[in-house]
Structure 1
Amino acid sequence: MRVVIAEDNVLLSSGLELLLTTKGFEVAAITRDAPGFAAAVAEHRPDVAVVDVRLPPGFRDEGIRAAIRARRRHPGLPVLVLSQYVERQYAGELVSDGRGGIGYLLKDRVSRVGEFTDALRRVAEGETVMDPEVIGQLLTRHARDPIAALTPREREVLALMAEGRDNATIAARLVITENAVHKHIGNVFAKLGLAPDDSGHRRVLAVLTYLSRH
């Protein structure tokens, strides 16, 4: 089973290579950044990729963005993402296409060799594997049911967002102005606890929260 690794930490990437090689995997390439990862996937067409959420140069979301782009360019590419901490928005973005063959694990799970290699094989076979800590935090958040705090109009707007409607279409359907739609969406984001610095993900996350209850 061929693996491409995207990890800038040399110590961790070397450890992953040694671990996987001893367990019968073939490490086709190790890359340090998103462009290198994209090139390695195109060249080697791995059975599964292991990607750090944060890669150079910004160490924010370069890895997860590279993983999402790779899955778009190579449909069905299994990807296991590693993260130092539970980052809910990244976990939500990763699973949002619903196609399987994806995983999200905390890095300390790598030290549990059996669990890690089992998760990698399951992802390669098309399963979705989420770290128990991630699931726990998502369930804790869901237990507060922020959807219940929305007004009827805000729920209507969110339902239309879940159908993939843009703001202009939502305004026409509800016979309100686009400014009103924008205001309702802002209220939805606030009540769902989606901070402004999540701006690139908030619409997706709001829809995922809605769909999880329907």
Structure 2
Amino acid sequence: MIVADDAALFRVGVARLLGDAGIEVVAEVGDAPALLGAVAAHRPDAVLVDIRMPPTHTTEGLDAARTLAQRHPDVGVLVLSAHLEPHFALSIIDADSGGTGYLLKERVGDVDELTDALRRVVAGGVVVDPAVVAQLVGRRRVRNPLDALSDRERDVLAEMAQGRSNHGVGERLHLSEKTVEAYARSAFTKLGLVAGPDDNRRVLAVLAYLRG
């Protein structure tokens, strides 16, 4: 994989962390053009890119992620942000493509969570930081249909929106897979969402609803 961040210490530290976890880092770069060039040269399974890169430190990383989705759709892209910015996370989701994710930089310290997110985007999944999901789930609206959900259905929905399968949700919440399926069906019925066989589309549908 490739690590892209203009902060050299962070870049080197993440690369070492991933290396210790058994993930090969083939290149470390400090700006978006270098990232695009490195991907073309190395064709990695995934890239980890800071959302704010030189020269303006605004959305260069996000723009690079969009370019990679067009040029190299087989490469998983996990965008990192130092701040909770749901609108950026949703813009990634709106691309309607798998193999993408948005994670807060503070999660990088948890190597298990980071490597799990990377594996999911490599597998074509959608990963959204739990803090973003929590903010979306907790947002109030007039006649909020989420009010109809039980606490457990909310828990299942929040885990599902982070890109986890029924099996993964069950592991997180200590529930059987059949119980998760039951909660999911109930929640989808209450929210008017159609549960399909494609986990990616299911996650996108849930997040599309939550952002509305």
Provide the residue aligned with 1:104 in structure 2. Answer: 102
Counterpart CA distance in 1 for 2:28 and 2:22 is: 17
Give CA deviations for 1:157-183 in whole Å, capped at 9, x if unaligned. Answer: xxxxxxxxxxxxxxxxxxxxxxxxxxx
Provide the residue aligned with 1:113 in structure 2. Answer: 111
Counterpart CA distance in 2 for 1:122 and 1:114 is: 12
Change (3 A) 1:43 1:210: closer
Counterpart CA distance in 1 for 2:19 and 2:44 is: 15
Counterpart CA distance in 2 for 1:24 and 1:211 is: 34
Change (3 A) 1:211 1:107: closer
Provide the residue aligned with 1:44 in structure 2. Answer: 42
In 2, are the aligned partners of 1:47 and 1:124 still within 8 Å (CA)?
A: yes
Counterpart CA distance in 2 for 1:73 and 1:146 is: 42
Aligned residues: 152
Identity of aligned residues (%): 44
Deviation >3 Å, runs of 4+: 208-211
In 1, are the aligned partners of 2:2 and 2:47 still within 8 Å (CA)?
A: yes
Cα RMSD between the aligned structures?
2.4
Provide the residue aligned with 1:62 in structure 2. Answer: 60
Provide the residue aligned with 1:144 in structure 2. Answer: 141
| 1:90 counterpart (80, 88, 91) | 88
Counterpart CA distance in 1 for 2:24 and 2:208 is: 38
| 2:8 counterpart (3, 7, 10) | 10
Counterpart CA distance in 1 for 2:207 and 2:101 is: 22
Secondary structure of the residue aligned to 2:116 is helix
Change (3 A) 1:210 1:117: closer
Q: Which amino acid aligns with 2:18?
A: L
Unaligned runs of 5+ in 1: 148-207
Pick the structure with greater CA Rg: 1
Q: Which amino acid aligns with 1:9?
A: A
Change (3 A) 1:122 1:146: same
